[in-house]
Amino acid sequence: MDLNTILGYFGALIIGVVLGLIGGGGSILTVPVLVYLFYINPVTATAYSLFVVGFSSLIGALQNIKKGLVDFRTALVFATPALLAVYATRKYLVPAIPNELFYFGDFLMTKNIAIMMFFAIIMMLASVSMIRNNKKEVPEMTIKYNYTLIIIEGVIVGVLTGIVGAGGGFLIIPALVLLAKLPMKKAVATSLLIIAIKSLIGFIGDVENLELDWLFLLSFTAISVVGIFIGTYLSNFIEGKKLKKGFGWFVLIMGIYIIFKELTNH
């Protein structure tokens, strides 16, 4: 086992620990770990990430269901357009993207580079929401659904999730607070269930298209899950909110690094 493989599995553990500590965001590291440490093709890496994200979110969602924090009706309203969009994106849109997109001078923009660049932009957007972290508790209100906006939001989040393999919690949580008037704790808990449903449904679109290494995928996911339990335990002693801002800066630097690496390595 070489150093990169050891670092990769350690990365899987860290992804879980971060998820357990701050309740989200850690999964955005899955694709860079898979691509740069395990040398997995970005299309396959985003598929694997959907499985890791979906399974990890499901564990978090089940814990929140026990606490009575998940609003099932809201989850269903949000998840339906999102899961349809993510499934269609993985099954039809991603395979339809040509391997060679365009030349910019001597630089050839390939499908793999474009996916990693787009992923880096999503990472930077996610990092801004972590760094700002100005989440104010919203009092309990009667939930009123703006169905048109919810469907549009669901489709956008679904397509983004499908392309980059990230959960999109940084888009879903504000939408649940603003469009469904959920209090923050419920919004975070409900978003985990939405992310779990749409990520795992999206992954089904890949099972039909890609050759998957199930032994590797399940072992990577299992290590992440161990990390979640470690992170959840550590959260009893460490303030997650304080860590979130620091992790946001780390994600921002990672996003910039990915853009630099993809532009200079080809």
CA-nearest of 29, 7, 5, 146 to 77 is 146
Whether 22 shows a pLDDT value over 80: the answer reads: no
d(CA 175, CA 148) in angstroms, rounded, equals 13
- What is the rounded distance in angstroms from the CA atom of residue 7 to the CA atom of residue 220? 12
> What pLDDT does residue 266 have?
58
- Give CA 254 to chain center in angstroms: 15
Burial class (CB in 10 A: 0-12, 13-18, 19+), 146: middle
Whole-number pLDDT of residue 144: 64
Band (pLDDT 50/70/90 cuts) for residue 136 is: low
- pLDDT for the residue 217: 94
What is the overall mean pLDDT for the chain? 82
Q: In whole angstroms, give the CA distance from residue 230 to residue 213.
A: 26
pLDDT in tens, 48-104: 988 988 888 888 888 888 888 888 888 888 888 888 888 888 888 888 888 888 888
- Minimal CA–CA distance to 175: which of 94, 74, 97, 257? 74
Q: Is the pLDDT of residue 23 over 80?
A: no
pLDDT in tens, 174-183: 778 777 778 8
* DSSP bridge partners of 110: 100
* Listed range (107-116, 130-139, 145-154, 252-261) with the worst mean pLDDT: 130-139
Mean pLDDT along residues 112-118: 85
Q: pLDDT tier at 9 (50, 70, 90 boundaries)? A: very high
CA–CA distance, 31 with 23 (Å, rounded to integer): 18
Q: 217 or 184: whose pLDDT is higher?
A: 217
Residue 134's pLDDT band (cuts 50, 70, 90): low
pLDDT at 165 over 90: no
Most confidently predicted of 39-48, 122-131, 158-167, 213-222: 213-222
Measured CA distances, 3 to 9, 40, 48, 156, 249 (Å)? 10, 16, 21, 38, 26
pLDDT for res 159: 86
User: For the range 136-140, what are the long-range contacts, defined as Cβ-Cβ under 8 Å and sequence gap of 24 or more?
Assistant: 136/184, 137/183, 137/184, 137/185, 138/177, 138/181, 138/182, 138/183, 138/184, 138/187, 139/183, 140/183
Task: Give the residue, 51 or 126, on which the prediction is more confident.
Answer: 51
pTM for the predicted model, two decimal places: 0.79
Domain segments of the chain as ranges: 3-264
Tell me what the mean pLDDT of segment 153-159 comes to.
84
DSSP classification of residue 208? T
